[in-house]
């Protein structure tokens, strides 16, 4: 008993002594901080240096910061960098205060970059690639130049394992691990953390409407990321980080011209004036498209005559694509504004018909000819500040978009098309008589949002440290107006049903909250996050989603191992949900007084398991990563000609390998992906009991995704002034599976005939019509093979003082090949395109 009391007294005395020491050190720091504020810089520095060993935990971090600031005030840059480095070694996640001098912020950022490449997207905090909880690809500005990518989509496909280009005819698209839609809506694209995806369609356009010249780096999370970013982050996140004005320090401009009437101009201006950092950018691009004759085999298989002999590949359209923006920083305030326009002209008619058409013969709507176009504006005003170990950011956001889908269906008349689509008989009779059939959809949206985000960094004396991140967000979405019209005879349109505009417009509110913990003890990092999303839809239904993520990382000096699980979701786009209602109005089955007939489209979900091993500098300059993944997707939305359904599931496994070898004059980046889909249903076809037994819509294999694909990008500084680069893409054999619209039309006609004959008691004729229907429905799943191919891109730059001469050649060998996507026939890809440029830096 006495021994226990003695031990207890000793512990109590130690605790009191420790508390007294903490109080003393707080007093020492408070005195130094007060001296620093009143200008007694040397006294503040000296008292901190004399007592530095006595500071512990968070107080030691603040002491190191104040010492660094004291040396900075005396222009001793070497000592400033020394103690800033010590601070970052103590806490690699430390963020400077908004009140800190801009020079100190620059020094800290430069030291972070020099210590290791850091990203902020994976955990909403600065961390090295080795510490991120999921496999992540970092693409620098130099890598963008090396691959010769002309737009964001091509850059991503060159460097990100698991990403491959998808061509849905009238949209710029990309797939992640075999999951994609009719538009780019499964991958979240952000600009400095600001969402670029439409709130109406969930899609963004990774094309020439996003300038590459302004980019400092691109951070790509491979896998579900709803635990931080909610909806849209279904299969991955792309965060574009712009340069700072100080990075540019002047004006950079480039003009270029090439074949097919290509014209491209880029400009970036950046400066830092004391505490003000400003960056302004602008980019514009146009072309007339690559004119190519329709192959004879394509004509032979077409169900309708093709009076037009040529198609245009890669055509931008009547209006050029552009991107203009401004970024302004002052202390803790940040203003971001970006406006861009994207336009793509489809080579072939819509859906799987895939016929040539007379583009210029169709009338324009609001100055837009047949194309897929989006005009968007994005704005954000934020304020960040640091209170002790707590970093807070507040933001208000505004987004507005005008989207147009103007699709040509057929130049020729199409009997029974209206019947297959369930349209009224009057419409079907006109389709039998007139060609020039098209669909025009235009919608305008806007969204207001407020955000609060924060992170609290902590350390314990026994080696534990970490960051607790949190955030909340509220958004108000409004579809201002929408038009949905069917055209015929090239310039005529059916009278617009007022019910369609009434049921199309609407408002929705959404809110979310997330919490994430990243804790490190010695070589083990535990990273877990949870986010709750709530949305009240326009029809008063509710969406409640919980998105978890958990990861365990073993971190060693030369290698690391990561094991993670994450679940993500994306709510069915507002446009899809309302399109179903408007189609019913078009068919005459909705009176506009109720939503009971609305086809409910629910959120899509993906569960993902990932295990990765990465090494760094086993051989000087060589880094590599090997990642295995398993994805299980459910309730995927499929486009069924005119409406949308949760008709698909997907289970895919794969292995991704990436490696980089960087020397002073030579860089090489390589990736290889193997993907296999072993359970899939990609067809949203409903045929009823009469015919469903004659078709199997289970594909259970890759669709438009090669089993093997790889990229090699090499940059070579040949001389002091000449730099060469090349990109070699290899894609293995692919197969495209889609619903054949022609067979669907024929099946609908056969069923109508069967019902007519059966009602009239003409049993023989009815059975003949049914046999024809069975014959056509067995051919309803169209599948076409695309052979393996290798595409070579080549380019170079020659430096003449402030002037840079450049030449980039896409598809050097002029390889002819096809791609496909959802509801698309095979789409021919661009041949040899070249672009010569002149750049200047002032």
- Of 35-39, 201-205, 656-660, 729-733, minimum mean pLDDT range: 35-39
Higher pLDDT, 24 or 339: 339
Nearest to 279 by CA among 195, 338, 342: 338
- What pLDDT, on a 0 to 100 scale, did the predictor assign at position 132? 87
Q: Tell me: pLDDT of 12 over 80.
A: no
Model pLDDT for residues 270-306, shown as the tens digit of each residue? 998 878 899 999 999 999 999 999 988 888 888 788 8
Q: To the nearest 10°, report the CA torsion of 637, 641, 643, 649.
A: -20
What was the pLDDT predicted at 13? 47
Residue 621 Ramachandran class (φ > 0 left, ψ -120 to 50 alpha, else beta): left
Of 8-22, 439-453, 768-782, the range with the lowest mean pLDDT is 8-22
More confident residue, 468 or 645: 468
Average pLDDT, the chain: 87
Residues in the chain, total:
842
pLDDT of residue 827: 93
| Between 11 and 62, the higher pLDDT residue | 62
> How sure is the predictor about 16, in pLDDT bands with cuts at 50, 70 and 90?
very low
Q: How far apart are the first and last CA of the chain?
A: 82
Question: What CA–CA distance (Å, rounded) separates 185 from 770?
Answer: 39
pLDDT tens, residue by residue, 542-555: 999 999 999 999 98
pLDDT of residue 383 exceeding 80, the answer is yes
Give the whole-angstrom CA distance, residue 98 versus residue 95: 9
The predicted structure's pLDDT at residue 215: 95
pLDDT (0 to 100) of residue 191: 95
DSSP state of 538: T
Which range is least confidently modeled, 319-323, 425-429, 675-679? 425-429
Task: Indicate whether 157 pLDDT > 80.
Answer: yes
Is residue 423's pLDDT more than 80? no
**Average pLDDT, integer, range 375-388:** 90
What percent of the chain lies above the pLDDT cut of 90? 51
What is the rounded average pLDDT of the residues 648-652? Answer: 90
Look at residue 803 and tell me whether its pLDDT is greater than 60: yes
- Of the pLDDT bands very low, low, confident and very high (cuts 50, 70, 90), residue 682 is low
Q: Are 562 and 526 in contact (CB under 8 A)?
A: no
Query: Cβ–Cβ contacts within 10 Å for residue 795, how many?
Result: 23
Give the model's confidence band at 696: pLDDT under 50 very low, under 70 low, under 90 confident, else very high: confident
Q: What's the confidence (pLDDT) of residue 122?
A: 66
Higher pLDDT, 74 or 400: 400
- pLDDT, residue 19, reads 46
pLDDT of residue 588: 64
- Closest by CA position to 217, among listed 105, 120, 348: 120
Which residues lie across from 373 on neighbouring strands? 343, 404
pLDDT at 96 over 80: no
The pLDDT confidence band at residue 93, using thresholds 50, 70 and 90, is low
pLDDT band (50, 70, 90) for residue 115:
low
pLDDT bracket for residue 116 (50, 70, 90): low
Which ranges in 189-241 belong to alpha helices (H)?
Answer: 226-229
- Partners of 729 in the beta sheet? 711, 791
Tell how many helices (H) and how many strands (E) occur in the chain. Answer: 17, 38
Percent of all residues in the chain with a pLDDT value above 70, rounded to a whole number: 92
pTM, 2 dp? 0.86
8 — pLDDT class (breaks 50, 70, 90): very low
* 331-334-340 Cα angle (round to 5): 155
| CA 140 distance to own-chain centroid | 17
Mean pLDDT of 458-469: 84
Cα 400 to Cα 377, 397, 506, distances in angstroms: 5, 10, 15
CA pseudo-torsion sign 356, 358, 362, 367: positive
Contact 435, 453 (CB under 8 A): no
What pLDDT band is residue 578 in, cutting at 50, 70 and 90?
Answer: confident
What SS3 state is found at 294? coil
More reliable by pLDDT, 677 or 90: 677
For the cut 80, the answer to whether the pLDDT of residue 688 exceeds it is no
Beta-carbon contacts of 347 under 8 Å, excluding residues fewer than 6 positions away, are: 169, 311, 312, 313, 315, 827, 828
């Amino acid at each position: 008993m006495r021994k226990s009391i003695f031990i207890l007294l000793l512990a109590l005395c130690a605790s009191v002594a420790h508390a007294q020491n903490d109080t003393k050190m707080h007093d020492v720091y408070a005195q130094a901080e007060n001296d620093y504020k009143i200008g007694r810089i040397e006294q503040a520095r000296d008292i901190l240096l004399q007592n530095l060993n006595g500071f512990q935990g968070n107080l030691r971090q603040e002491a190191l910061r104040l010492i660094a600031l004291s040396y900075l005030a005396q222009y001793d840059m070497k000592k400033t960098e020394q103690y800033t480095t010590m601070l970052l070694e103590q806490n690699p996640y430390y963020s400077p205060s908004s009140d800190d001098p801009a020079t100190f912020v620059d020094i800290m950022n430069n030291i972070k970059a020099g210590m290791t490449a850091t990203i902020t997207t994976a955990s909403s905090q600065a961390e090295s690639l080795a510490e991120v909880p999921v496999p992540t690809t970092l693409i620098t500005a130099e890598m963008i130049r090396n691959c010769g990518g002309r737009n964001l989509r091509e850059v991503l496909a060159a460097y990100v394992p698991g990403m491959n280009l998808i061509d849905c005819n009238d949209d710029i698209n990309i797939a992640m691990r075999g999951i994609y839609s009719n538009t780019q809506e499964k991958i979240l694209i952000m600009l400095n953390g600001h969402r670029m995806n439409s709130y109406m369609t969930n899609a963004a356009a990774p094309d020439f409407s996003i300038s590459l010249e302004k980019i400092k780096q691109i951070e790509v999370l491979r896998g579900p990321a709803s635990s931080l970013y909610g909806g849209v982050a279904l299969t991955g996140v792309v965060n574009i980080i712009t340069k700072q004005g100080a990075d540019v320090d002047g004006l950079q401009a480039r003009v270029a011209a090439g074949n097919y009437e290509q014209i491209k101009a880029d400009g970036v201006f950046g400066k830092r004036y004391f505490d003000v950092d400003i960056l302004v950018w602008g980019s514009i691009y146009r072309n007339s498209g690559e004119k190519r004759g329709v192959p004879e085999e394509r004509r032979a298989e077409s169900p309708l005559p093709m009076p037009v002999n040529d198609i245009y590949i890669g055509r931008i359209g009547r209006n050029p694509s552009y991107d203009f923006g401004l970024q302004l920083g002052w202390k803790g305030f940040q203003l971001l504004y970006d406006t861009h326009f994207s336009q793509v002209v489809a080579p072939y008619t819509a859906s799987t018909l895939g016929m040539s058409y007379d583009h210029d013969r169709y009338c324009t709507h609001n100055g837009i000819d047949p194309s897929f176009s989006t005009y968007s504006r994005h704005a954000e005003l934020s304020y960040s500040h640091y209170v002790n170990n707590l970093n807070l950011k507040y933001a208000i956001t505004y987004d507005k978009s005008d989207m147009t889908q103007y699709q040509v269906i057929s130049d020729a008349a199409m009997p029974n098309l209206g019947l297959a689509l369930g349209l009224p008989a009057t419409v079907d009779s006109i389709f039998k008589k007139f060609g020039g059939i098209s669909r025009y959809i235009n919608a305008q949206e806007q969204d207001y949002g407020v955000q609060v985000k924060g992170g609290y960094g902590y350390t314990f004396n026994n080696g534990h440290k970490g960051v607790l991140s949190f955030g909340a967000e509220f958004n108000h979405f409004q579809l201002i107006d929408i038009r949905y019209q069917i055209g015929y005879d090239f310039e005529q349109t059916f009278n617009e049903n007022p019910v369609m505009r009434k049921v199309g417009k609407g408002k929705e509110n959404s809110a979310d909250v997330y919490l994430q913990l990243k804790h490190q003890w010695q070589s083990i990092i535990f990273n877990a996050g949870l986010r709750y999303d709530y949305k009240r839809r326009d029809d008063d239904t509710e969406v409640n989603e919980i998105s978890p993520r958990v990861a365990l990382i073993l971190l060693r000096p030369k290698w690391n191992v990561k094991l993670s699980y994450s679940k993500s979701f994306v709510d069915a786009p507002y446009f899809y949900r309302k399109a179903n209602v408007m189609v019913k109005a078009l068919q005459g089955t909705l009176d506009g007084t109720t939503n009971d007939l609305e086809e409910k489209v629910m959120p899509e979900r993906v569960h993902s398991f990932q295990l990765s091993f990465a090494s760094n500098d086993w051989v000087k300059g060589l880094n590599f990563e090997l990642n295995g993944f398993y994805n299980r997707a459910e309730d995927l939305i499929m486009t069924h000609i005119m409406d949308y359904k949760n008709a698909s599931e997907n289970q895919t496994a794969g292995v991704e390998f990436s490696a980089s070898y960087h020397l002073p004059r030579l860089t090489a980046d390589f990736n290889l992906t193997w993907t296999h889909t072993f359970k899939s249903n990609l067809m949203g076809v409903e045929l009823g009991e009469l015919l469903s037994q004659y078709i199997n819509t289970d594909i259970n294999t890759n669709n438009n995704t090669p089993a093997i694909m790889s990229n090699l990008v090499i940059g070579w500084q040949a001389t002091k002034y000449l730099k060469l680069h090349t990109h070699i893409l290899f894609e293995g054999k692919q197969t495209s599976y889609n619903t054949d619209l022609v067979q669907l039309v024929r099946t609908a006609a056969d069923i109508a005939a069967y019902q007519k004959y059966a009602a009239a008691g003409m049993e023989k004729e009815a059975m003949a019509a049914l046999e024809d229907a069975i014959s056509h429905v067995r051919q309803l799943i169209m599948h076409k093979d695309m052979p393996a191919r290798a595409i070579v891109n080549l380019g170079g730059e020659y430096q003449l003082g402030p002037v840079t001469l450049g030449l980039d050649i896409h598809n050097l060998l002029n390889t002819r090949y096809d791609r496909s996507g959802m509801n698309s026939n095979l789409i021919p890809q661009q041949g040899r395109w070249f672009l010569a440029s002149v750049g200047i830096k002032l």
